[in-house]
Structure 1
Amino acid sequence: MRIFIFYSNTIRTDGNFKNIYYSGRLDIAINSIIHAFFVSNGLRKNIRFDLYLNGKPVPPRLIRIESDINTPWSKKDISTLLSISLKKYNKKNIKNPFPGIYVDKIDFFDLLDEYKNNGKNIYLLDKDGEFIENIKIENPVFIIGDFLGIPKDIKKKIDSDVIKISLGDINYFSSQVIVILNYYLDKMNFERDIYDTSYKFIYRE
């Protein structure tokens, strides 16, 4: 499975997304989710996207999205899906509001420990890390920060538990990092399976 952890410092945790640009930069997460899962006329299988939210008013919240052809989403309406998921959890403690969507409250370090205990290698995207082509990627979990990055206190605490990797000397958008990582994993032939979704978008005049 390809696993991405997207750390957001600012996205609201109550699901009140009146405008994605003023909801803690939800737009960044949405673009990253789209590029994690969707390809032309297809949906990637074996993807897990952990959206870790540390914004107001009730942090933290984890929204885990896993590849599921039955998830009621489209590239145009991910905001609503995330909003409803958070509200169902916050109001009724519903942890599995939709197929492929799971919501919980979990400490960030506990989340990483969960993966470490399951034999995963945790790769932190960092401009000072080792260039990705110079190391061997195995059993990966990738941590990607938002526009503010990973907080310094967290980076310091997890320093000995992660492998820092870089995509080069250009600072890419978070969503672009996802695209590059997926491309790199495709080249490795790592979990490349895709659901065909062309039947959902048949063009008719």
Structure 2
Amino acid sequence: MKDFVIIGHKALTTGDFSLNDLPGSAGRMDILCRCVNSALFLSHGMRRDVNVHLVLLGEPCPGKVIRFNGEKLKYLNPDERSSGSLIKKALEKDAIEYETQSTPGVWIRRAGLEKLLTEFKDAGRDIYYLKEDGEDIREYADFNTDAVFVLGDHMGVTEEEEGIIGKIAKQTLNIGPVSLHSDHCMIIIHNELDRKEA
């Protein structure tokens, strides 16, 4: 499996938001919805070997993780409103320490960035942090296709979060000379992995 971790600093942590106003009332949930779609959709298909982990840090109760699993996912269409609806349904569930399934292929639990990344590290997974000043992904020889990629949202990553990631990540990578949106980065990462696997 390939795993993408996206940090949503403003994303609401209750289902009390309008699907008609994902950028505003939901705390830039539109960014996370685009990331879900970019990570999972192919032309006329879906990537079944991908997990997307949304780390929600917005009000009123920060510290929830929603996981989309491509292998088991149903009811997702390639538009922001569709992924927003699945996130909304997940947030209507009580988030506890263990994952609770809200719809097929979507789970929610109470956790934060450090806990999530530590679990990946303990499982022997390679974690890569995507940042503009990282090593070029095309020049990094020891690049694992079964990896975990960490990206920030429109606010980037805080100094505290960068400290957490820096202690756990195997390498900081960049995907090119120009700063891109997180959802665009994910498509380029997939393209690099597709080429490597081919």
TM norm structure 2? 0.90
Residue number among 156, 177, 181 corresponding to 2:185 in the alignment:
177
Q: Partner of 2:9 in structure 1?
A: 9
Matched, 1:144 2:151: yes
Provide the C-alpha distance between the structure 1 equivalents of 2:164 and 2:71, rounded to a whole number of angstroms.
34
Render the CA deviation track for 1:52-76: whole Å, top value 9, x for unaligned.
1000011111001101355122123
- Post-superposition CA distance 1:8-64 (Å, at most 9, x none): 101000022211011111111111111111111101111000011000011111001
Counterpart of 1:43 in structure 2: which amino acid? M
* Contact kept in structure 1, 2:86 and 2:106, CA below 8 Å: no
RMSD (CA atoms): 1.8
Kindly state the Cα deviation for residue 95 of structure 1 after the two structures are TM-superposed: 0.9
Higher helix proportion, which one?
1
**Within the alignment, does 1:159 sit opposite 2:179 as a pair?**
no
Greater gyration radius: 1
CA distance in 2, matches of 1:31, 1:128: 24
**Is it true that 1:54 corresponds to 2:57 in the alignment?**
yes
- Deviation sequence 1:131-157 (CA, Å, 0-9, x none): 111112113100010010111112123
Instruction: Provide the C-alpha distance between the structure 1 equivalents of 2:17 and 2:102, rounded to a whole number of angstroms.
Output: 17
Which amino acid in 1 is paired with 2:172?
K
Number of matched pairs: 189
- State TM-score, norm by structure 1: 0.87
Paired position in structure 2 for 1:31: 34
Work out the percentage of aligned pairs sharing the same amino acid. 26
Query: Structure 2: how far apart are the matches of 1:94 and 1:117?
Result: 18
Residues 52 and 63 in structure 1, CA contact (< 8 A), matched pair in contact too: yes
Letter in 1 for 2:196: M
The Cα of 1:84 is off from its aligned counterpart by 1.0
* Structure 1 residue 171: Cα displacement: 0.4
Aligned partner of 2:110 in structure 1 is 105
Displacement of 1:110 in angstroms is: 1.4
